[in-house]
Chains A and B, each alone.
Chain A
Amino acid sequence: MSLLEVDTLSVRYPGVVAVDGLTFSIDRGESLGLVGESGSGKTQTAMAIMGLLPADAEVEGDIRVDGRSLLSLDDAALNRVRALEISMVFQDPMQALNPFVRIGDQIARILLEHRLAAGDDASGKVVDMLDRVGLPDPERQYRAYPHQLSGGMRQRAMIAAALITDPALLIADEPTTALDVTVQAQILDLLEELRDDTALLLITHDLGVVAGHCERMLVLDRGRKLEEGPTRTLFVSPDHPHTRTMIDAAPRLGARQPPDPRMSETILIADQVDVIYPEDQLQAVHSTDLILKAGETLALVGESGSGKSSLVRAILGLVTPAAGDVEFDGIALPPDVRRRKPADLKRMSMVFQDPVGSLNPQMRVRDIVGEPIGSSRHSSVSATLARVGLDDSFSDRYPHQLSGGQAQRVAIARAIITQPRVLVCDEAVAALDGTVRQQIIDLLMSIQRETGLAIIFIAHDLAIVEGLSHRVMVMYLGRPVEIATARDLFSRPGHPYTRALVDAVPEPDPLSNKYSFVRGETPSPIAPPLGCAFHPRCEHAIARCRVELPKPREVDNRTIACHRYEELRTEVESSPN
């Protein structure tokens, strides 16, 4: 008998079938990855197992733990199962932890509720657990409120809460999606390390995560099981074409060769830009230079707090930089977008992260796309819509009538209708599912080929960036740490932080075993570390790194801000690996 048996489970809402006749099981100690794109029903399945579906959900089929059906249990019995046999870790630890209760008390409450411990014994157990999940100074963190912890630390606390009762099954629903890449790797590793004989049901859209952490996987599509099997087998020879598409669309390093660097003239220069947000008392960008050549794609990579978005917003004039200049074709632009001439504005445009949020809900597609040219009736509106793959029937729709991918096409149409020479894409594909994401990227690339558009592509995911960028600029805490052609950067990352980012990318390949990852998290930009901002997390840091800020230098065809680049370069080359 398996630990968990899900038997022809269906979850229906009025008018929608979320899960459709799903059957699977998990054995003790086993790890199963539940994979699918948004709307595939993977979270609904988890909620059904936990008995957490909303009241209007209609559940059919059966869910058994140790042969006992959960659907027929009363509340008290179900509560015991939830605590003692199945635990769950949620996606966003900021939302999933109670902001009004101390971290330790929230976890201790579980022990008290189920009479697993009492009084000092309970708090002692919680402190031990907090220590095990890697919270530094656990006794102090016991008394901390969630907002006083970083994102990664909150997720560690969440894991502590899930494992404190030593459950037989742990369900983790997109446990790392809300976290930075380098932190994601740490959390996944922690889960792996702590769960021992606890079975794991890992729910994710990210095939890289499944490949590295699950023995078996199950692919869901629109509520139905496409296929199920050992992860290794499925990755090599999937039965279903959709699985194949998903695996192919999964971003992976080394899958696509970066394009050749462009030898064209420089069109855009940002010179020593500072961006300061006085209200938040922080400096987001520190004296940063950026150069963009005609027709090239420059990827701007970094985690949260790196200042990449602030830098491009300063270039576009959406925030006024505290210092520094922006030049287009050798002529300085006014720092504020309101002072820029219409002709200047037409030359640069932007596509945003949230496809729906970047479109005014009260406007029709036609009016949205026509706004930059001041007319929604112009023939170029439908021509541009056609160019992004939307026919005329879309022009009368409102944004809420569009899918994510369609909305992003509309946003691209609005951005290119003025025939700009520079397009800034700020995490423009981050919110999209794998297959849609690839289509949008292909669309951008084909527009670039046709029009010679230069693109600044902001992303946190190195694997996406690799195949499409000519050059890459990596930022950390408001400063560039490395700028190089994509070829050079991916073949030999120069800065320890670049290497950390490369190492953190989950590989959609069950056979790869990457194990090195960087410790810690990006500190708050309000109080950046002295010296090299990366030194607290850098395994190569020496005394000099702690006191002296490394200046960007030109070495080996790249710009790099690391005191130890030369030493580390030889070290890497001489190592047997």
Chain B
Amino acid sequence: MLRYTLRRLLGAIPTVLLVIVLAFIMVRAAPGGPFDAERALSPDVEANIARYYNLDESLPRQFFRYLGGVLQGDLGPSYRYRDTTVSELIADHLPVSMMIGGMAMLLAIIVGVALGIMAALNRTAITDRVVMGFAMLGISVPVFVLAPVFMLFLSVKLQWLPAGWSSTPGPSKYVLPVISLALPQIAYIARLSRASLIDVLSSDFIRTARAQGLSQGSIVRYHALKPAMLPVLSYMGPAIAVILTGSVVIEEIFGIPGVGQFFVRGALNRDYTLVLGIVIFYAVLIVLLNLIVDLLYGLIDPRIRARR
């Protein structure tokens, strides 16, 4: 297990490096500089700006300077928000993003798995059809469609829930963003865990357990649940990425001052350092969370530990 952990840890390093290299090259390969679009600057000013952002150095030098900064947690200055660094921006606006993303993730896992199991165990019943119909709807409707439609009906028309973020005190403002973000994932996880549990329940070792006179409840609890949850666990990696992506639009739609909103603003304003910094930050976050998922997987499946 220790070797497996070490191996996975070491395996994550090239991924992180690749992320930084790719992101850096993408930005620098772009035609024109960050300040081209605006009014013409005098060559003096341009040179000054270039020096300030180290744009006058050779590309490899710039890269290693940037990499050095990243390794110390310094993502450089923002091009647009002149007085702050990218790291500070992320640190200031991360908590609310994490809060919403984390709650959505938790909700998605709990409700999704519960629905999936329910559907799998009542395959002939109406439960299954209802849950699966809902799930198909859920995976097909994108977050940025779901959220405004919820807002339209629940906030604008029925006025059950607040639409504005900054104007609302209390926790009720979290409800719509979290549910909108979680619903598609609930649907996906429900489908996944249903299919997986059905698959496991048809395997030979479940037949053995039936032949041993174990009740359906015992069979699910002691024999089927663990293997059935493995696909759900390996979906956690992609799910994290999807939730992060979704939080970008959710924050935009509900006006939540999270990292995602700054990301979109940065993208629209061509704030290269900000966008680059957030991409790298998110990428590293996802790689790390994936690593945790991998380790959990190894903990659950004895065959993985044995291999390699």
Instruction: Give A contacts to B, CB under 8 Å.
Output: 50, 52, 75-76, 78-84, 87-88, 90, 92, 95-101, 106, 109-110, 113-114, 145, 147-148, 158, 161
Closest to B222 in A: A109
Query: Most chain-B Cβ atoms within 10 A of its Cβ — which of A84, A87, A106?
Result: A106
Q: Which residues of chain B have C-beta atoms less than 8 A from A100's C-beta?
A: 223, 226-227, 300-302
Q: Which residues of chain B have C-beta atoms less than 8 A from A90's C-beta?
A: 204, 207-208, 211
A81 to B227, CA, bound (A): 28
A97 to B301, CA, bound (A): 14
- Tell me the B190-248 residues at the A interface (CB within 8 Å): 203-205, 207-216, 218, 222-223, 226-227
B222 contact from A79, A95, A97, A101, Cβ within 8 A: A101
Query: Most chain-A Cβ atoms within 10 A of its Cβ — which of B204, B208, B227?
Result: B208
Q: Which residues of chain A have C-beta atoms less than 8 A from B205's C-beta?
A: 95-99
A50 contact from B211, B222, B300, B302, Cβ within 8 A: B211
A99 to B208, CA, bound (A): 12
Q: Which residues of chain A have C-beta atoms less than 8 A from B216's C-beta?
A: 75
A88 to B212, CA, bound (A): 8
* 7 cross-chain pairs, A with B, having the tightest CB-CB distances, nearest first: A83-B213, A82-B213, A95-B204, A79-B213, A98-B205, A145-B302, A88-B211
Known interface pairs A95-B205, A109-B222, A113-B218. Does A82 touch B302 (Cβ–Cβ under 8 Å)? no
Q: Does B303 contact A (CB under 8 A)?
A: yes
Distance between A146 CB and nearest chain B CB, rounded to angstroms: 9
Distance between A186 CB and nearest chain B CB, rounded to angstroms: 21
Known contacts A52-B210, A110-B214; 14 further A-B pairs (Cβ under 8 A): A52-B211, A75-B216, A78-B213, A83-B214, A90-B208, A90-B211, A98-B209, A100-B223, A100-B301, A109-B214, A113-B214, A147-B306, A148-B306, A158-B208
Are the CB atoms of B208 and A79 closer together than 8 Å?
no
Q: Which residues of chain A have C-beta atoms less than 8 A from B300's C-beta?
A: 100
Distance between B170 CB and nearest chain A CB, rounded to angstroms: 45
Closest to A107 in B: B212
B212 contact from A75, A76, A87, Cβ within 8 A: A87
Task: Name A's interface SS.
Answer: helix
Q: Which residues of chain A have C-beta atoms less than 8 A from B211's C-beta?
A: 50, 52, 82, 87-88, 90
Closest to A94 in B: B204
Are the CB atoms of B303 and A145 closer together than 8 Å?
yes
A80 contact from B207, B213, B218, B222, Cβ within 8 A: B213
Are the CB atoms of B204 and A96 closer together than 8 Å?
yes
A92 to B301, CA, bound (A): 21
A147 contact from B207, B214, B303, Cβ within 8 A: B303
Are the CB atoms of A113 and B215 closer together than 8 Å?
yes
- Tell me the B250-308 residues at the A interface (CB within 8 Å): 300-303, 306
Distance between B223 CB and nearest chain A CB, rounded to angstroms: 5
Q: Which residues of chain B have C-beta atoms less than 8 A from A113's C-beta?
A: 212-215, 218
A82 to B210, CA, bound (A): 8
Would you mind naming 5 contact pairs between A and B with Cβ atoms under 8 Å apart?
A52-B210, A90-B207, A101-B223, A148-B306, A161-B212
Closest to B206 in A: A98
Closest to A164 in B: B212
Closest to A114 in B: B213
Are the CB atoms of A84 and B210 closer together than 8 Å?
no
A88 to B207, CA, bound (A): 10
Q: Which residues of chain B have C-beta atoms less than 8 A from A79's C-beta?
A: 213-215
Are the CB atoms of B223 and A98 closer together than 8 Å?
yes
A109 to B213, CA, bound (A): 10
Q: Which residues of chain A have C-beta atoms less than 8 A from B306's C-beta?
A: 145, 147-148
A110 to B213, CA, bound (A): 8
Closest to A98 in B: B205
Are the CB atoms of B222 and A96 closer together than 8 Å?
no
Closest to B209 in A: A98
Known interface pairs A52-B207, A96-B207, A100-B226. Does A82 touch B215 (Cβ–Cβ under 8 Å)? no
Q: Which residues of chain B have C-beta atoms less than 8 A from A76's C-beta?
A: 215
Are the CB atoms of A109 and B302 closer together than 8 Å?
no
Closest to A144 in B: B302
Query: Most chain-A Cβ atoms within 10 A of its Cβ — which of B205, B214, B215, B301?
Result: B205
A558 to B204, CA, bound (A): 46
A75 to B213, CA, bound (A): 9
Known interface pairs A90-B204, A100-B226. Does A75 touch B215 (Cβ–Cβ under 8 Å)? yes
Query: Most chain-B Cβ atoms within 10 A of its Cβ — which of A76, A90, A92?
Result: A90
Q: Which residues of chain A have C-beta atoms less than 8 A from B208's C-beta?
A: 88, 90, 96-98, 158, 161
Closest to B227 in A: A100
Q: Which residues of chain A have C-beta atoms less than 8 A from B218's C-beta?
A: 109, 113
A76 to B227, CA, bound (A): 25
Are the CB atoms of A84 and B213 closer together than 8 Å?
yes
Q: Which residues of chain B have C-beta atoms less than 8 A from A96's C-beta?
A: 204-205, 207-208
Q: Which residues of chain B have C-beta atoms less than 8 A from A81's C-beta?
A: 213
Q: Which residues of chain A have C-beta atoms less than 8 A from B227's C-beta?
A: 98-100
Distance between A457 CB and nearest chain B CB, rounded to angstroms: 32
Distance between A52 CB and nearest chain B CB, rounded to angstroms: 6
Distance between A161 CB and nearest chain B CB, rounded to angstroms: 7
Q: Which residues of chain A have C-beta atoms less than 8 A from B226's C-beta?
A: 100-101
Closest to A145 in B: B302
Distance between B96 CB and nearest chain A CB, rounded to angstroms: 39
A90 to B206, CA, bound (A): 12
Distance between B207 CB and nearest chain A CB, rounded to angstroms: 6
Contact digits for B134-145, partner A, Cβ 8 Å, 1 yes 0 no = 000000000000
Q: Which residues of chain B have C-beta atoms less than 8 A from A87's C-beta?
A: 211-212
Distance between A560 CB and nearest chain B CB, rounded to angstroms: 38
A162 to B130, CA, bound (A): 40
A90 to B208, CA, bound (A): 8
A110 to B223, CA, bound (A): 12
A101 to B222, CA, bound (A): 8
Q: Which residues of chain A have C-beta atoms less than 8 A from B302's C-beta?
A: 99-100, 145, 147
Closest to A86 in B: B211
